[in-house]
Amino acid sequence: MNPGITPITPPLRALRGEGPPRRARGKRRATTLLELLLVLAIIGLITAGAVRAFVAGIDVERRLRESSDEGSRLAATRLELRSLISRAYLSTTPGDPGTYLVGSTADGAGGGLLGAPADELTFTAVGLRMPASALDSTDDFETQNERFGPQGGLVEIALSTIPFDAPDGVTGLFLREQRPADGDPTQGGRQRLLDDNVETIAFEFFDGIDWQSQWDTRTQGAPRLPSAVRVTLTMRERDEPVILIVPLPNSDVTPEDPVAIGGGP
């Protein structure tokens, strides 16, 4: 035998004619009813949690959508109020009764520094944009003029939560427009619902020194617009009031040249 070669000895099992060793097999055990119930319970808990999370996600999405819609409506209302009130106008002709700004309470209460703020505001305005419905209308000129009134020129605007031309049960902030203004701030024109989410509205008027709760240019010796109007809105399902201060570009009232307390000259 060659000393450099190591002989290969066949395994003893091969010499005996036996096959490869078999691995030890564990005993098979059947699944018990208790284990099956435990698995079903775990699956039920996971399913219930998934359903609850899905429902919660839908609810959150709904609330976010409602909040977004409410925010958009409020933003549109603020923009509309600012656009309307900022265009308040008084004629420069002495003694002209055709233009005015009247802020008062519907029941006649209030007045003075400690009185209730006005909840109605009626004023004449110029430079208002045409309503979208008028721009989209395909009616002839006479029909549009009858429906929307003459566009441009002097317009009477009234803001309040008191409906006079709305279906029963409809509440909110109403806008009344009369084109052209007729010199009577108590009636006329068409009213539409501006925002049904408004519960109350209050107006205050800056006389150059302080905020006044009432204003009526018809009783002033020299009619003058306030330098700004403060609007306070209370909204449904909203805890905090919404406050909007609108400067009046057509006013000549300043801290150096204020209006006397009570809206006098």
Identify whether 14 is part of a domain. no
Identify whether 230 is part of a domain. yes
CA dihedral sign, ordered 192, 107, 183, 206: negative
pLDDT of residue 225: 96
Q: What's the pLDDT band for 111 if we cut at 50, 70, 90?
A: very low
254 HSE (CA, 13 A, CB side): 4
Give the chain's radius of gyration (CA, Å). 39
Identify whether 120 is part of a domain. yes
Q: Where are the beta strands (DSSP E) in the chain?
A: 101-104, 120-125, 155-160, 173-178, 190-195, 198-206, 211-212, 215-216, 228-235, 242-247
Task: For residues 58-79, give the mean pLDDT.
Answer: 71
Domain range enclosing 150: 89-247
Q: Count the residues in the chain.
A: 265
Task: For residues 183-209, give the mean pLDDT.
Answer: 93
Identify whether 23 is part of a domain. no
Q: What's the pLDDT band for 93 if we cut at 50, 70, 90?
A: confident
Whether omega for the bond prior to residue 150 falls within 30 degrees of 0, making it cis, is: no
- Which tens digits make up the pLDDT trace of 8-41? 555 555 555 555 555 555 556 666 888 888 888 8
Q: How many domains does the chain have?
A: 1
Identify whether 53 is part of a domain. no
Identify whether 223 is part of a domain. yes
Identify whether 31 is part of a domain. no
Separation between Cα atoms, residue 59 and residue 40, nearest integer Å: 28
Identify whether 51 is part of a domain. no
- Which tens digits make up the pLDDT trace of 114-164? 468 999 999 999 876 655 555 555 655 455 555 554 455 789 999 999 988
Task: For residues 197-205, give the mean pLDDT.
Answer: 96
Q: What's the pLDDT band for 263 if we cut at 50, 70, 90?
A: very low
Question: How far, CA to CA in Å, does 45 sit from each of 32, 39, 50?
Answer: 20, 10, 9
Q: Which residues pair with 233 in a beta bridge?
A: 201, 242
